């Protein structure tokens, strides 16, 4: 499938998992991509793979956890890469631990990356989208943005906040021709389960694959401008673990 109108997308967390799969799905559909992640070598490898589809794919190494810098750096990416038609906010971190034992530093770290960095990325692309009277913003939330789980408190709070950000943004920007989608996947087999901040023992073979989630993101991105999926829950057929 090819995009009927040439589009340019910015994808965060693009060096692995859902972000990588989305980058390759977009490239296969003829969408130029600006790729953001703090892992420079892995990011460039994804860009190289995307270019085999004949699209423009550029790696922009950026640490989104440094939230005070994100807005200006996204501004710089837009200036270098060109106007953004599609923003996929996928970067995030997992975190497990009961609330009573969650330190303020850990709490802030989760909120900064999972919520505040998204706010900053949105601020970076929104003026250009308003100028062109069109744009699609897809926030990869989580089932944890609509359902609370014990021992995932900081993570759930960050994702519930991201859901609220998505819904508010959709209402504020609808009149400007900008569509906002909150995508809420259940468990996805990504490197998040290998990270030092997550302690969980789930059957990863029963999870969604990044490629399945990427297919949904691509579908949302390529909807006709007269339609929008405002919220999409995508679950493994076995349900939540």
Give the pLDDT confidence score for residue 4 in this predicted structure.
47
Name the domain count of the chain: 1
More confident residue, 186 or 221: 221
58-67, 79-88, 200-209: which has the minimum mean pLDDT? 200-209
Q: What is the pLDDT of residues 88-98, one digit of tens each?
A: 999 999 989 99
Give domain status of residue 3, yes or no.
Answer: no
Give domain status of residue 78, yes or no.
Answer: yes
Give domain status of residue 120, yes or no.
Answer: yes
Give the pLDDT confidence score for residue 119 in this predicted structure.
98
How far is residue 87's CA from residue 105's CA, in Å, rounded to a whole number? 29
Give domain status of residue 2, yes or no.
Answer: no
Give domain status of residue 44, yes or no.
Answer: yes
Question: Is the sign of the CA dihedral 72, 75, 76, 77 positive or negative?
Answer: positive
Q: What is the CATH number of the domain that holds 167?
A: 3.40.50.720
Q: Dig out the tokens for 65 from the structure.
A: 């956890």
pLDDT higher than threshold 50 for residue 219: yes
The answer, as to whether pTM is greater than 0.75, is yes
Confidence of residue 240 (pLDDT cuts 50, 70, 90): low
Give domain status of residue 239, yes or no.
Answer: no
> At a CB cut-off of 8 Å and minimum separation 6, what does 208 contact?
185, 186, 187, 188, 189, 234, 235, 236
Could you tell me which of 214, 171, 207 has the C-alpha nearest to residue 190?
Answer: 207
Q: What is the pLDDT of residues 167-214, one digit of tens each?
A: 999 999 999 999 999 999 988 777 675 777 777 777 767 778 999 999
The DSSP bridge partners found for residue 59 are: 35
Helix (H, G, I), strand (E, B) or coil at 183: strand
Confidence of residue 1 (pLDDT cuts 50, 70, 90): very low
> At a CB cut-off of 8 Å and minimum separation 6, what does 109 contact?
65, 93, 95
Residue numbers annotated as active site = 155
- For residue 119, the enclosing domain spans 8-234
Q: Dig out the tokens for 195 from the structure.
A: 């990270």
Give the pLDDT confidence score for residue 127 in this predicted structure.
97
Confidence of residue 241 (pLDDT cuts 50, 70, 90): low
Whole-number percent of the chain with pLDDT over 70: 94
Give the pLDDT confidence score for residue 199 in this predicted structure.
77
Give the pLDDT confidence score for residue 3 in this predicted structure.
42
Exposure string over 18-45, b if 16+ CB within 10 A, otherwise e:
bbbbbbbbbbbbbbbbbbbbebeebbbe
Give the pLDDT confidence score for residue 28 in this predicted structure.
98
Give the pLDDT confidence score for residue 208 in this predicted structure.
83
Do 29 and 219 meet the contact criterion of CB atoms below 8 Å apart? no
Mean pLDDT over the full length of the chain: 92
Give domain status of residue 240, yes or no.
Answer: no
pLDDT higher than threshold 90 for residue 32: yes
Q: What is the pLDDT of residues 127-157, one digit of tens each?
A: 999 999 999 999 999 999 999 999 999 999 9
Give domain status of residue 96, yes or no.
Answer: yes
């Amino acid at each position: 499938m090819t995009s009927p109108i040439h589009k340019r997308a910015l994808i965060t967390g693009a060096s692995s998992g859902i972000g990588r799969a989305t980058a390759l799905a977009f490239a296969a559909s003829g969408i130029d991509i600006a790729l953001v992640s703090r892992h420079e070598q892995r990011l460039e490898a994804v860009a190289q793979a995307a270019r085999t589809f004949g699209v423009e794919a550029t790696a922009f190494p950026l640490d989104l956890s440094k939230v005070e810098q994100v807005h200006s750096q996204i501004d710089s990416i837009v200036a270098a890469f060109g106007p953004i038609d599609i923003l996929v906010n996928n970067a995030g971190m997992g975190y497990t631990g009961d609330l009573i034992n969650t330190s303020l530093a850990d709490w802030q770290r989760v909120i900064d990356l999972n919520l505040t960095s998204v706010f900053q990325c949105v601020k970076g692309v929104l003026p250009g989208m308003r100028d062109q009277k069109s744009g699609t913003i897809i926030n990869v939330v989580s089932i944890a943005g609509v359902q609370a789980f014990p021992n995932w408190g900081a993570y759930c709070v960050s994702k519930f906040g991201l859901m609220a950000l998505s819904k508010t943004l959709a209402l504020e920007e609808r009149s400007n021709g900008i569509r906002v989608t909150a995508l809420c996947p259940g468990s996805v087999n990504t490197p998040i389960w290998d990270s030092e901040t997550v302690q969980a023992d789930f059957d990863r073979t029963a999870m969604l694959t990044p490629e399945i989630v990427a297919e949904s993101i691509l579908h949302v991105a390529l909807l006709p401008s007269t339609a929008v999926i405002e919220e999409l829950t995508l679950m493994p057929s076995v349900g939540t673990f």
